[in-house]
Structure 1
Amino acid sequence: MTTRTLASLSTGVLLALATSAGAQTDVGDAEVTFTRDVAPIFQRSCQSCHRVGSIAPMSLLTYEKSRPWARSIRQKVAQRDMPPWYIERNIGIQKFLDDPSLSEQEIATIVAWVDGGTRRGNPADMPPPREFAEFDDWQMGEPDLVVALPEPIVVPAEAPDWWLNIETEPLALTEDRYIKAVESRPSLPGADKVVHHAVTYMVSPDDERGFLNEYAVGKNADVFPEGTGRLIKAGSRVRYNRHMHAIGEETPADVLVGPKFYPKGYTPEHVVFAAHAGDSYDTIDIPAGEDNARVDGYYFLREPAQVVSFQPHLHNRGKRQCVEAIYPSGMVETLSCAQHNFAWMLNYTYEEDVQPLLPAGTNLHLISWYDNSEANRYNPDPNNWIGFGNRSNDEMSHTWMNIFYISEEEFDRRLEERRAKHGTNQ
C-alpha cells in the first residue's frame, strides 16, 4: 500500500469532501417567506434548543416568536455563530453525524428573508410542527439508564475554582453491558454556567477503573460506530471528577450521565477508548496581548487505528485547533480544524465511511492557537502572561478523540473496502 493511497483513503478522499469556497448562494427571484422557506431550516437546525423549556433564550417554533429576533438571527447565522458548529469548511473532513450547520444556500435564504421584510407567507406552506419527545433534551435520544449524583452540589456565589470527586452507589446492572452511545448534561437551571467539566469513570466491584464520559459546557453526545463500544461491568459505581466555577450567585448543580446499551449478551468486535490527546502541560506560553499564540502537542498510535471523533479542549483564550496525521513516511495530512468557542465544547463525530484509518506509527499532531489580546471579548485579563492550569482563567491544549485499534489485516481490509467505495485506483 503506497503512502499516497494511505493519504487519500484514510480520510475518505478529503478534497472531494471539502466544501467549495464558491458555493452557490443565489436564492432566486422568488419572494422568501417564513412559512415556506425559513421554518423548515429552523426545524432542522434550531428548534432542538430554541423552544420553551430548552437551553436557548427564545423560541423559534413560530413566526410570531421568531419575527422579533430577525435582525439578531441574521447576524448570528451570517457569521456562523449559530447554530453552534465550528468545523472549518475549507479544510479536512466534512462529513459528520448530527451536523446542524447551515449550508451557504440556507444562510442566504435567512438573510434574504430578513432583508426582504421578514414576510410570513401562506400559512398553508407551514410544515407540520416538529414533535419533541420527553427525552429530547438528550441529543442522542432516550438513554437506557440515567446516572445522577447522590445530591446536587451547591456552588457558592463567591469562591475560587474547586475540584471534587464523588461516587455513586452501585448501578442497577446485574450483568455486564456494552455502551453504544453516552451523553452527559447538566440537569438543574444554571448548572451549565458553574460546571466547567465533569469527567466520569466506571469503578467495578473489584475496583478496576475505566473511562465513561466527559462533559464540558455545550458538549453533545459520544456515539460509537456499530460493532464498537465501551464496557460497563455489573455492579459498577460511577465516579465523578467535577470542576466547579462560581458565577456570583449560589447555584445548585448536577450532571446526568445517560448511556445507551447494546442488547444484553452482545459483545462488540472493538472497544473504543477516549484518548486525551496532544496534552501540552509544560509548553503553553502565551504572552500578554498576543493575538495568535501557538501550542503544539502529539499523540502516538502504536497500532493501526480508526478515529471516531474529534473534540477540541481549550479555555477562554482559545481561538482555533487543528489535528493532522504525520504518517510513518513523514507525509502530513490535515484531518480537521475547528474554530473555538468556550461556550460550546462540541464533539465532532465523523460519519463512519470517512473516519480516519491510520497505520501503526502515525503521530497525531495537535495545533492550538490563542488570542490573549483585548480584542478577545472572553479574555479575563489581556495584561497577563498565561500558561497551563486547571482553572477556567488558565489555559489548556488537548483534544478528546474516541479511537479503536484494529489488526494489520483488518486495517488492510478496511482500506480496500474504502478504496472500492470511493472509486480510488491509486
Structure 2
Amino acid sequence: MVAGPVIPVAAASEGRGGGAAVPNPTFTKDVAPIFQDKCESCHRPGSIAPMSLVTYEEARPWARSIKARVSARQMPPWHIDRTVGIQHFQNDRSLSDDQIDTIVRWVDAGMPKGDSTDMPAPKQWPAESVWNFAKQFGGPPDLIIRSEPFTMPAEAQDKWFRPTVPIGLTEPRWVRAIEMRPVTVKGRRIIHHAMGYLQQEEPSDSPVGAGVFMEWSVGKQGELMRPDSGRLLLPGSSIQFEVHLHAVGEEISDSVELGVYLYPKAQQPKYRQVLTALMASHGLELDLPPNQITVTENFSVMKMAGRVENFQPHMHLRGKAMSLEAILPDGTRQMLSFVRNFTFYWMNNYVYADEATPLLPKGTVLHVTAWHDNTVANKDNPDPNQWVGWGDRTVDEMAHAWVNISYLSDADFKAEVEKRKAGDSKTAPH
C-alpha cells in the first residue's frame, strides 16, 4: 500500500515574519530596513518601478500613497490569501502585519526622518545585466539561448513573436536553474510575458513529456530546482519562444534570452521536474458573459506520484481569483493555495518552501478554479459590456496555472513521505 500524502497546510499568524511593530518609527531606523528588504528590488534607480524608495528624500513625497498601498496589501505584490492553504514560501515578498503597522505609524506621525546614523548601509544591487542566479552559481549561465531581435511600434495592436532557436546540445543534460528575461530593462515595458516551449523527442516509454521549459512575466525571478530535481534536455532539442508584446507609446526594440544553469555531467538529479499548465477551463473553451462574475474549473489527474513545487495563476484583465485544490484518491479534499486578489500586472510565482511542498500520491486530482470579473466593479476591465472568450490578446482571457511537478516513483514517494514525517516529529514541541 502506498503511503498517504503530506500536505503541510497552516493558517498564517497575524504578525508573522516581521517582529513587533515600532511605537515611534523613523525612516532611518525603522522604515528604510523594510524598504531595503521588501521594496528596493524594484524601487531603486534604473529598475522597473516608477520611483525609487532608497533615500528619505525619494520616499517622503510618496509616503501617503505608500501607506494606502501597503495597508490594502497591494504592495509589495503578493496576493495569496493568508487565511487558507499553504503559507510558507521560498520567495515571500509580503509585509508582515507589524511591518505594515510600522509604515502606517511613520506616515501618521508626519514621516520623521530620524537620526542619520541609524540609516542602514546602502544595499548593493547587481547591475541589471547580471543574471539573478550568478552569485549563487558563481557566474553566468552555462547556456544562453537568445531570440533574434524584435521591434514593437509605439502604437499597435498586441503582437506575438514566435522564433525557434536550437539549443545545440549533443548529449543529455540536466538543468538546475533557468532564467528568462528581456535583454534590456526597457524591454520589460512591452513584454507582458514570454514562453519557452521545449521541443524534443521523448522516449516512447517516458511517463511525462517535455512540458514548457520556462515562462517569464514581470515579477518572476527564474526557476531554481531543488537539489534532488531537474529538467531534462535531450540532444537536438530546440526552444520555441512565444513573446506577447503590447504597445506603450514608444517604439522599443529588444530580444529575449534564456539562461540555463546545468548540473555537472556526472551528476543526475533523482527526480524529473516538468512545468505544466493546469487548466481552469475545458481546453481553450472560455465563455465570459458581459456584466457577470463567472466561475470555471477543471480537473487534472496525476498519473504518477509527485511533489508540487509552486502555484502561478495566469489570467488577463478580467481575472479575479484562482485556487488550487488537491482531491486525494480516498476523496479527501485539501486546498493548497488561493490567490484572492489576482492582478494581470503581477503574474506572481508562489514557490513553496522546502518543508511545505505537497507530496501527492498517484491518482490525485488537481482541481483548479478561476473567477473572472467582467463587471464595472473591476477597475481593470476595458469593457464590461463585451462577451469575452479565450484568446492571446490582453483583452481576451485565459484561465490556467503554471505548476512545476517533480515526479516520483511509488517507492520514492513512500520514502519522501516517511522522511518528511520524521522531520516533522523532530521539530514538533514535546
User: Scaled by the length of structure 1, what TM-score is found?
Assistant: 0.89
Structure 2 distance, partners of 1:322, 1:243, is 25
Out of 75, 90, 115, which is 1:97 matched to? 90
Q: Which amino acid is the alignment partner of residue 391 of structure 2?
A: G
Paired residue for 1:193, among 179, 189, 193? 189
User: Taking structure 1 as reference, are residues 265 and 202 closer, same or farther at Cα in structure 2, changes over 3 Å only?
Assistant: farther
For structure 2, the 5+ residue unaligned runs are 203-208
Q: How does 1:214-293 map to 2 (within 5 A)?
A: 214-233=215-234, 236-280=237-281, 281-290=283-292, 292-293=293-294
Question: 1:244 offset after TM fit, Å?
Answer: 2.6
Structure 2: which amino acid aligns with 1:422?
Answer: D
Following the alignment from structure 1 to structure 2, what is the Cα–Cα distance between the partners of residues 329 and 220? Answer: 37
Match of 1:60 in 2: 53
Aligned residues of 1:21 and 1:90 also touching (Cα < 8 A): no
Do 2:147 and 2:241's aligned partners in 1 also have CA atoms closer than 8 Å? Answer: no
Change (3 A) 1:158 1:337: same
1: CA distance, partners of 2:61 / 2:402:
39
Contact 1:148–1:254 under 8 Å retained in 2: no
Cα distance between partner residues in 1 of 2:354 and 2:195: 26
Contact map agreement 2:175 2:262 (CA 8 A) in 1: yes
Unaligned residue ranges in structure 1 (runs of 5+): none
1:251 Cα offset (Å): 2.3
Structure 1 pair 309–112 and aligned structure 2 pair: CA distance change class (3 A): same
Report what 1:164 is aligned to: 161
- CA drift at 1:203: 4.6
For 1:288 and 1:169, how far apart are their aligned partners in 2?
44
Partner of 1:113: 106
Q: Is contact 2:374-2:384 (8 Å) kept?
A: yes
Look up the match of 2:385.
383
Q: Describe the superposition over 1:122-141 as per-residue Cα deviations: whole angstroms up to 9, x where unpaired.
A: 22212221111236864444
Moved beyond 6 Å, runs of 4+:
22-26
In structure 2, what residue type is equivalent to 1:355?
T
Cα distance between partner residues in 2 of 1:302 and 1:204: 21
Question: Aligned pair count?
Answer: 415
How far the C-alpha of 1:222 sits from its partner, in A, is 1.5
Residue of structure 2 equivalent to 1:360: 362
Q: Matched residues in 1 for 2:6 and 2:183: separation?
A: 39
3-state SS, counterpart of residue 336 of structure 1: strand
Report Cα offsets for 1:286-324 as digits up to 9, x if no partner. Answer: 22111x321101111011111011110100000110000
Displacement after TM superposition at 1:22 (Å): 7.9
Q: Comparing 88-97 with 254-263, which one deviates more in the overlay?
A: 254-263
Work out which of the residue numbers 90, 113, 120 in structure 2 matches 1:127: 120
1:312 aligns with 2:313: yes
AA matched with 2:189: K
Matched, 1:151 2:148: yes
What does the per-residue CA deviation read over 1:158-178, in whole Å, with 9 as the maximum and x for residues that have no partner? Answer: 43333332133555x675432
Shifted more, 401-410 versus 182-191: the winner is 182-191
Contact 1:223-1:349 within 8 A present in 2 as well? no
After superposition, give the CA deviation of every residue in 1:262-301 in whole Å (9 maximum; x if it has no partner).
Answer: 23421111110011112513552222111x3211011110
Deviates more, 1:91-100 or 1:251-260: 251-260
Give the superposition deviation at 1:185: 1.8
Structure 1's 121 and 408: CA in aligned 2 closer, same or farther, altered over 3 A?
same
TM-score, normalised relative to structure 2 = 0.88
Distance 2:71 2:134 in 1: 29
**Matched residues in 2 for 1:182 and 1:41: separation?**
29
